[in-house]
Structure 1
Amino acid sequence: MKKKKRAESSQVGTGVFKLKKGMSYGRIRPDNERFCDVIILLKEVNGAQDGDKVQYVLLPVVKRRKTACFGKITKVISLTDTYFAERKRLLGRFHLSERFSEPVASEAEKTVQLPENKKRSDCRKAFCITIDPVDARDFDDAISLKKVGKDFLLGVYIADVSHFVEQGSRLDQEAGRRGLSVYFPWGVVPMLPEFLSEERCSLKEGVERKAVACFMRLSPEGEVLQYDIERVTIVNKKRLTYEGAQRILEGKEKAAFPGLNMLLKRMGALARVLKQRRLAEGGLDFNLPETRVLLDDKGLPDKLLQPKRIWTQSIIEEFMLMANKVVAQHLESRRSHSLYRIHDVPGLELSEKVRKLIRLRPAGISPLPAHADCRDLLQAVRNSGVEKTVHKMVLQSLPKARYSTNNRGHFGLGFDSYTHFTSPIRRYPDLLVHRLLFAEGTRSLSDKRALVELERAADHCSTAEERSLKAERDAVALCVCYILAGYVGQVFQGTVTGVAPFGIFIELKDMGADGLLHRSRIRPGDYEFEPDTLSYYSRSEKKSIRLGDMLTVRLDRVNLTLRHIDLAQV
């Protein structure tokens, strides 16, 4: 463990001020994590409160204080300045870089000159479309679908990033180092330079593009009868948003050209069959809406939304899942080294948590048999007041999905084989899978060197994914705190979403954000945590507070730097 440096006396820095009640001094935790905490005597606080972001200067070293850093606060940093400072600090904390080096950027621009030396089918007349979020900037995938007798012929077209990113190049090394693109409410830290991710590789409407296609002939019951994977050239006929496609499906908006309405209806019918088949084979069906942050024209968080999932999102999801599954099965059948997306079967911890939730039966859950599993539980709470809470608890109890050369199946999806193939613009594992698909002279399972290289890449990509998820959650938490800082002192109705020894987590109604009601602030003061029932119980009131209960709380304090939202009971 590295020893932290004692800062020089001339240092001016920023950090978070911490002040405990009854103490004669506070501490600043410097933003520069290489430096030790700075002690601030009360006379040097300059009006700062516990949790404030502050600017400080170190005081001259005195002989008897050689081992400590003492300083004084020169400025309390404003909420807006704190927000932008935290955005910058977030990038450093997670080792993310928005810019690419000049050699990498230059190499990306030169890819336009790469000759076509690969066999490629002409699919420019195929009636393919893209359906993506309204604010999407990179378009990985396009879809075509037509009937062949009673069967469906589904085409999933994925941007051919491997054509532009040559293995071992500087561009490839940088993409591999990043691992994947990271998406924030205010922008994206891309895996590839924008020249590629948003232009040359992106399947933009009306533009000829290189792609890798997975054609699947499916029975009316959703069974794959045959498939073909090949390099193609396509032209995206129409760029749709999820919301726009949904309005066309519901008859609320007229289709832009003939055949589009029928295509969407056909896509909806096939996706419904595929989803029913997947769930029947053991797949889990979570319903956890993501918090979306809207920014104002100054780039500041303005509103929080939790839009309901719409059917067109599920349509694209089911088609991508099917393509990933077929590609994984194809790679496995060649008996050469491959990269899989695996999700292990959960251990006893999940079973115990599920049994506890079934036994507790939070408000809104119908009775379940003792032998029920997590699939039964997820279904039982559907459309209840505790649906989000229970789904979140089960999801957090599952093992993390990861990349591996050892195919162990995907528990959450109910698939025996699965990989990531459909997003090579934003995920490096997908790019690796594209290369494996078209590798000349595929390496046999006995090639140990190739296996070690692929295993190393799988581990790195799993680590990069975990880092990016943490960064994305932290960015949303920062925005949520900024918005809620404007509501301090206001009273809210909230739903209990979590119970822990130190307090109760409550989701504020109409805000889509959770805050903490510390156990010391639960009224009356004799509420005690009951671990067996995941609740707090008051003997004087003879009442319990448990998952799904509604409470009235006051938003007491918000700390952007620590991402804390503190509540008080009313």
Structure 2
Amino acid sequence: MESGEIVEYIDDQKIICAVVMEGGNQRLQLLTENNREVKIAFQRLCHRSKMRLDLSLGRNRLVEHLRAIAEKRIALADQIDIAELWDVLSPEPGWIDLNTMTGLCFPTDMDDDHESGVIRAMFKSRHHFKFKPDRFRPYTEEELAAIIALEEKAARQQRLIASGAAWINAVRSGSMDSRPERHQELSEIFKSYFLFEKDSPHCETARAIMKNAELKAIDGLFNHLVAVGEWCVDENVDLLRYHIPTDFSAGALDLAQSISTLSDDALRKTGRVDLTHLPTLTIDGQSTLDFDDALSIEIRNDHLLVGIHISDVAQFIKKGDRLDQEALSRGSSIYLPDNRISMAPPVLAENRLSLKKGHIRPAISTMVKVSRTGDIISYDIFPSIIRVDHQLSYFEANMSADTSDAIERLHDIAIRFREKRLSQGAIQIILPEINVWLDETGVPMVNRVNRESPGRMLIAEMMILSNWLSAKFLAENDIPAIFRSQPKPKSRILKNGTGTLFQNWMQRKQLNRFVLSPTPDHHCGLGLDAYVTASSPIRKYFDLVTQRQLRAGLGLEAPYSKTEIEAIIEQLARPMADVGRIQFRRNRYWLLKYLEGRIGEKEEAIVLQRRRNAYAVLLKSYMIECNLPQSSGIDLKPEDLVQVTIQHVNARNNILSVFMG
């Protein structure tokens, strides 16, 4: 290529006119109409003119000539009606070279400037023709429609991005009406990206809005949604993230309502064993509204007869009905410090299904014959009707432990049963429970619960006893069920069921996960040869399924097949994992929220282990782990007690930091 040749190339979506100052085989040195010297590859040229400029004119004169040429070519391009040209050429699609196209556009006059005018016109409006510098192809009608739709979508996207950034800035400055109904689409984009980040379908849009609004962190979107009233400051985003249903369908509610209106007396005619004469009691948390289980105890001549009565939920919720479908989709009730999401509609779960004081209820009763020394002699499982006489809280049960003969005897039997399990290799982890709840003003409150109190301990052991006997019944009758087993721990720290707080905490970390299977196997953690959970059918779908299998063994309904049991286990794996995650994270959130008000307070902590640049410690008062930065000159060992000061807490970001002292 010779010096002085006029050429054009595309840069930043513009066609630039230039003159060759120095040619070469691969790269050219150019002077542009913008008075810039550039080096570009030969392949970047989109047009070459036959005319030359005399380089001896000097830089300023050359630039003047280039600008004049460019202006002329732009004017020629403006004379071309691309849409009209497409109307003429589109019936016969095919490539048209530059020379032919120039002749069509300028039939009476054609030179380098006219060629450039055609290239510029085609480049400026690329809706109608596929563009290459030396040839063009008219798009088909379908291609044209798709291109226009795509460009309209892109334009709308840019408007949306600009609108989103403007909304954030306006709300941040307090200068604009922040009502979200005016920006519902943007609200949904912000929510989706905050919840799912890179997996959100609106990821690119949200990131562009954040960039334009100069939001550095995703927390800015959360704060914006709070500011406009779309979310509250304590929004439980996990319910949205894991698509947890909080409402029931109209069909399920209608069915629940119809079941709720059934007469108690009708149950007496169902062929069940009438146990309404037995004094029965429930022991639950103070805020419990759905009572799954009740206990009774009778003193016979040479033995005791313990009754463990579980609400017969399957009597009312039938396989495959609307209530069953929604219960299956949920998997479990969810109990949170600030919310309760039932597996069954509350109108049913807290009434007809609940073992409420003074009401006749159907139950699956396990009657256990126990010797005077606390040994289990035999058991029987059958459908019954019961009527609860006493509804006690754990506190009330604890207060009655020394004065109530029934509670005292049940507690003694529970102790004896636990001793038996421990002798069979059970691992009894004893850790205090941190109960978090909100007071009437929404302020988080915390108390430490002794899980070994008489009331809690006897209920825990009675339910384990009931579930073990249910598993034995199902196994002996060769009925598949959702059996739970657990392999041996990775290592055994606790001996004889005792140990320090440190040992119990570390032992829990060594436990293997339980295994669900349609056939029984040993449960190492409980020290039992078979185990199911059937004691909470109002709250847990696995328990409802197992209760149906018990009913099948009693001749009340057809059983699930082994294949059906396996399918239910698989289907509920993800929902149950989500429930566990949500409950753990929400309890931790409110505990951290409580600790936000205790920054600067000193706490006793147990050293758990040494990490790379910190120690893992357990705050004893709150049973929560955090990192303690290493201090020079101080060497700590596991189980050491240290005093730490709460330094920084952020519940939303799951941050808890402490320092020594």
Bigger radius of gyration, 1 or 2? 2
Counting only pairs closer than 5 Å after superposition, residues 194-233 of structure 1 correspond to structure 2 as 194-233=346-385
| Number of the residue aligned with 1:54 | 220
Of 275, 281, 284, 2:427 maps to: 284
More deviation in 411-420 or 478-487? 478-487
Distance in 1 (CA, whole Å) between partners of 2:246 and 2:305 is 40
1:101 alignment counterpart: 249
Q: Alignment partner of 1:479: what SS?
A: helix
Instruction: Assess, with a 3 A threshold, how the Cα gap between structure 1 residues 441 and 233 changes in structure 2: closer, same or farther.
Output: closer
Amino acid at match of 1:280: S
The structure 1 residue matched to 2:654, chosen from 560, 563, 566, is: 563
Which of 280, 283, 291 does residue 139 from structure 1 map onto? 291
Q: Aligned to 1:285, what secondary structure does the other structure show? A: coil
Aligned-pair CA distance for 1:267 = 1.3
**Cα distance in 1 for residues equivalent to 2:608 and 2:622:** 14
Secondary structure at 1:376's aligned position in 2?
coil
Q: Which has the higher helix share?
A: 2
Distance 2:432 2:360 in 1: 35
- Kindly provide the amino acid, as one letter, of the partner of residue 660 in structure 2: Q
**Partner of residue 430, structure 1:** 543
More displaced 10-residue stretch of structure 1: 262-271 or 482-491: 482-491
State the SS of the aligned residue for 2:509: helix
Deviations 1:14-68 (A, max 9, x none): 9xxxxxxxxxxxxx9734531257489999769x9x8x94348xxxxxxxxxxxx
Identify the structure with bigger relative contact order (alpha carbons < 8 Å, sequence gap 6+): 1
Contact 2:474 2:553 in 1 (8 A): no
- AA aligned opposite 1:150: D
How many residues are aligned here?
Answer: 467
Deviations 1:374-394 (A, max 9, x none): 442863xx2xxxx33332222
Aligned pairs (5 A) from 1:47-196 = 53-55=219-221, 84-112=232-260, 118-196=270-348
CA gap of 1:566–1:42, structure 2 versus 1, over 3 A, is: farther
What are the within-5 Å matches in structure 2 for residues 312-351 of structure 1? Answer: 312-346=455-489, 350-351=490-491
Contact 1:181–1:188 (CA<8 Å) still a contact in 2?
yes
Q: SS in structure 2 opposite 1:546?
A: coil
> Residues of 1 paired with 2:625 and 2:548: CA distance?
43
- Which residue number in structure 2 is paired with residue 395 of structure 1? 508
1:139-538 equivalences under 5 Å are: 139-251=291-403, 261-307=404-450, 309-346=452-489, 350-351=490-491, 373-376=492-495, 379=498, 382=499, 387-439=500-552, 450-501=561-612, 503-508=614-619, 510-517=621-628, 521-524=629-632
Residues 422 and 496 in structure 2, CA contact (< 8 A), matched pair in contact too: no
Letter in 2 for 1:211: A
Counterpart residue identity of residue 335, structure 1: D
CA distance in 2, matches of 1:302, 1:83: 23
Query: Contact 1:216–1:228 (CA<8 Å) still a contact in 2?
Result: yes
Q: Secondary structure, in 3 states, of the residue corresponding to 2:597?
A: helix
Q: What's the offset of the Cα at 1:229?
A: 1.4
User: C-alpha separation between the residues in 2 aligned to 1:232 and 1:76?
Assistant: 53
Structure-2 separation of matches of 1:553 and 1:97: 41
> In 2, Cα distance between the equivalents of 1:308 and 1:247?
15
**Residue aligned with 1:188, SS:** strand
Identity of counterpart residues, as a percentage?
A: 24
* Aligned partner letter, 2:291: F
Does the CA contact (< 8 Å) of 1:343 and 1:401 recur in 2? yes
Question: Which deviates the most, 422-431 or 308-317?
Answer: 308-317
Q: Which moved more, 1:170-179 or 1:217-226?
A: 217-226
> Within 2, Cα distance between the matches of 1:97 and 1:236?
32
When normalised by structure 2's length, the TM-score is 0.65
Measured after TM superposition, the shift of residue 460 of structure 1 is 3.1
Q: Distance in 2 between matches of 1:229 and 1:343?
A: 25
Q: Deviations along 1:150-169, whole A, 9 cap, x unmatched?
A: 32211111101001101110
CA–CA separation in structure 1 for the residues paired with 2:429 and 2:532 = 20
Shift of 1:285: 1.0
Q: 1:409 to 1:131 in 2, by over 3 A?
A: same
Cα 1:323–1:302 shift into 2, 3 Å: closer
Deviation of 1:502 (Å): 5.0
**Separation in 1, partners of 2:457, 2:230:** 38
Any runs of at least 4 consecutive aligned residues in structure 1 with deviations exceeding 6 A, and if so which? 39-46, 440-443
Higher mean C-alpha deviation, range 167-176 or range 98-107:
98-107
Change in Cα spacing, 1:155 to 1:491, as seen in structure 2 (3 Å) is: closer
TM-score of the two chains, using structure 1 as the length reference: 0.74
